[in-house]
Amino acid sequence: MTDNYLKIVRDNLKKLYSDLPPTLDKDLPGSKTGDCFEFEAFGRECQIRPSGIILDGKEQNSILGILITKNTY
């Protein structure tokens, strides 16, 4: 199951970064450093990177990663 979640997260990130909304950092709201977006999600520190979703320092290849990526584009 985790492999399926990982595939969905990666597919969602691919879609997001292929047509990145110019105001994504403001829409989240958050900040942008290079190609990384930082904001709060589920009451925790979150980063969206082309390589994955980081929530409180841990990569999210679960339903949380899917929810975060799906709601950004």
**50-68 per-position pLDDT tens digit:** 999 999 999 999 999 999 9
pLDDT value, residue 1: 57
Q: How far is Cα of residue 40 from the mean position of the Cα atoms in its chain?
A: 11
Which amino acid appears at position 36 of this protein? C
pLDDT of 2 strictly over 80? no
Cβ count within 10 A of residue 68: 23
- Residue 45: strand, helix, or coil: strand
Judged against a pLDDT cut of 70, whether residue 73 lies above it is answered with no
Decide if 38 contacts 31 (C-beta within 8 A): yes
Helix, strand or coil for residue 51? coil
pLDDT confidence of residue 59? 95
Neighbours of 46 (CB within 10 A): 21
Task: Give the mean model confidence (pLDDT) for residues 14-29.
Answer: 92
